[in-house]
Amino acid sequence: MSNQLILSIPAPILTYQEYARLQGLTVQSVASAVFAGKLPVYTPPCSPNENPARVKKYINMIALYAEAAKAANIDMALTSDKQV
């Protein structure tokens, strides 16, 4: 029998503002962590006439959970089953 830990991630991506609020940080400190490569970011696709640098970026919570699991030596499998 294997042990399972089931996590529910309320939102797969968060704005810098929402992530900062949840973590008790300033938006500037979140932006600095992103710039330093310490937080994973999701950048939505943009149209060819948009400047990619100006597209709003989000904190990628799925990647953050995966990084945390790896750091804790936990094997993580993702599923889209909506069993509650």
Residue 47 belongs to some domain of the structure: yes
pLDDT of 60 higher than 60: yes
Range of the domain at 33: 13-70
59 sits in which H/E element: strand 58-60
In tens, the pLDDT along 12-56 reads: 999 999 999 999 999 999 999 999 999 999 999 988 898 888 899
Residue 5 belongs to some domain of the structure: no
> How many domains, the chain?
1
Q: What is the pTM of this model?
A: 0.79
User: H helices within the chain, ranges in order?
Assistant: 16-23, 27-35, 61-71
Residue 43 belongs to some domain of the structure: yes
Residue 84 belongs to some domain of the structure: no
